[in-house]
Amino acid sequence: MWRRLLLRGTTCLLQVEDPNFLHQRHISSLCLRLVTQRLIHRPPAAPSVLRFPGAGYFLANNETRAYKKDTKSTVELPVCPITVTDIKQYIRSKDIPFHDGYSCLHIPSIFVESSARKDSFSLFIDKTTGQFLCKDTLVEGSWEDLQDCLEVMQKEEQDFLSPHVLLGYPESVEEQEERERELREVQRIWSSSVPLTDVPEDEAQLIKTMFQIPKVSNATLKKFGVRLFKPTKSLVFPWFGGPDSSLKGVKLLSAQNTDTDKVTYNEATVPKCSSYYNLFGLPLVNRMDSELVLTGHELDTLAVSQATGLPSVALPRGVSCLPPILLPYLEQFKRVTLWLGEDIRSWEASKIFSRKLGLRRCSLVRPGEYQPSPVEALAQGKNLSRIIKASIPAAHKSIVSFKQLREDVYGELLNTEQVAGVKWMRFPELNRILKGHRKGELTVFTGPTGSGKTTFISEVALDLCMQGVNTLWGSFEINNVRLAKIMLTQFAMQRLEENLEQYDFWADKFEELPLYFMTFHGQQNIKTVLDTMQHAVYLYDINHVIIDNLQFMMGQENLTVDKFAVQDHIIGAFRKFATNTSCHVTLIIHPRKEEDDRELQTASIFGSAKASQEADNVLILQEKKLVTCPGRRSLQVTKNRFDGDVGIFPLDFIKTSLTFSAPIKGKHKLRKVPIKPDDEEVEGHEVAPKKDDIKKDKAEKSNKTKKTPRPVKSPTTGK
Which residues would be at the binding site for ligand ATP (CB under 6 A)?
447, 449-455, 477, 631, 633, 653, 658
Residue number with CB closer to ligand ATP (489 or 714): 489
CB of 572 to ligand ATP, least distance (A): 23
| Contact by Cβ (8 Å): 166, 65 | yes
Question: Least distance to ligand ATP from the beta carbon of 635, Å?
Answer: 11
Compute the distance between CA of residue 7 and CA of residue 4 in angstroms, rounded to an integer: 10
Query: DSSP character for 654?
Result: B
Nearby residues of 636 by Cβ (< 8 Å), 6 or more positions away = 619, 620, 621, 622, 646, 647, 648
Smallest distance, Å, CB 616 to ligand ATP? Answer: 22
Find the shortest distance in angstroms from Cβ 426 to ligand ATP.
Answer: 15
- Bridge partners, 268 (sequence order): 252
What is the smallest separation between the CB atom of 600 and ligand ATP, expressed in angstroms? 12
- How far apart CA 563 and CA 261 sit, in angstroms, is 59
Gap between the Cα atoms of 342 and 334, Å rounded = 25
Residue 652 CB, shortest distance to ligand ATP, in Å, is: 8
- Least separation in angstroms between residue 453's CB and ligand ATP is 3
Q: CA–CA distance from 438 to each of 20, 366, 415, 542 (Å)?
A: 59, 19, 14, 13
For residues 249 and 269, the answer to whether their CB atoms sit within 8 Å is yes
Rounded to the nearest angstrom, the gap between the alpha carbon of residue 575 and the centroid of all alpha carbons in its chain is 22
DSSP-assigned letters across all residues of 86-138: HHHHHHHHTT---EE-SSEEEE--SSS-GGG-SSTT-EEEETTT--EEETTT-
Decide whether 376 or 477 has the Cβ nearer to ligand ATP.
477
Cβ proximity to ligand ATP, 311 vs 591, nearer residue: 591
Distances 283 to 49, 118, 242, 293, 591 between C-alpha atoms, Å: 39, 17, 10, 14, 57
- The span from the CA of 79 to the CA of 535, in Å, is 12
DSSP summary character for residue 241: E
Count CB atoms within 10 A of the CB of residue 84: 15
- Nearer to ligand ATP by Cβ, of 128 and 455: the residue is 455
Q: Which residues pair with 181 in a beta bridge?
A: none
| 664-692 exposure pattern, b = at least 16 Cβ within 10 A, e = fewer | eeeeeebeeeeeeeeeeeeeeeeebeeee
Tell me whether residue 310 or residue 478 sits nearer to ligand ATP (CB atom). Answer: 478
Minimum distance from CB of 448 to ligand ATP (Å)?
7
Q: Least distance to ligand ATP from the beta carbon of 265, Å?
A: 38
Shortest reach from residue 72's CB to ligand ATP, in Å: 23
Closer CB to ligand ATP, 168 or 452, in the complex: 452
Note every long-range contact of 366-370, with CB atoms under 8 Å and residues 24 or more positions apart, other chains counting.
366/391, 366/392, 366/407, 366/411, 367/341, 367/342, 367/343, 367/411, 368/407, 368/410, 368/411, 368/414, 369/414
- For ligand ATP, the closer of residues 265 and 653 by Cβ is 653
Cβ-contact 337, 364 below 8 angstroms: yes
Nearer to ligand ATP, 295 or 661 (CB): 661
**Which residue's CB is nearer to ligand ATP, number 215 or number 624?**
624
CA 187/CA 507 separation, integer angstroms? 28
Q: Closest CB to ligand ATP among 354 and 454?
A: 454
3-state DSSP call for residue 268? Answer: strand
Least distance from ligand ATP to the Cβ atom of residue 551, Å: 9
Nearer to ligand ATP, 346 or 494 (CB): 494
Q: Which residue number, 211 or 491, has a Cβ lying nearer to ligand ATP? A: 491
- CB of 477 vs ligand ATP, minimal distance in Å: 6
Q: How far apart are CA 508 and CA 615, in angstroms?
A: 36
Whichever of 230 and 667 has its CB closer to ligand ATP, that residue is 667
User: Nearer to ligand ATP by C-beta: 19 or 450?
Assistant: 450
Which of 332/475 has CB closer to ligand ATP? Answer: 475
Half-sphere exposure of 378 (CA within 13 A, CB side): 20
Question: Which of 174, 155, 178 lies closest to 58, judged by CA?
Answer: 155
End-to-end CA distance of the chain: 40
Tell me how far, at minimum, the Cβ of 629 lies from ligand ATP, in Å.
11
- 219 by Cβ neighbours in 10 Å (0-12 / 13-18 / 19+) ranks as exposed
CA 97 to chain centre: 33
Residue nearest to ligand ATP (CB): 452
Tell me the closest approach of the beta carbon of residue 445 to ligand ATP, in angstroms. 10
Report the C-alpha gap between 258 and 584 in whole angstroms. Answer: 33
How far apart (Å, rounded) are the C-alpha atoms in residues 302 and 287?
20
The answer to whether 241 and 248 are in contact (CB under 8 A) is: yes
Shortest distance, position 588 Cβ to ligand ATP, whole Å: 7
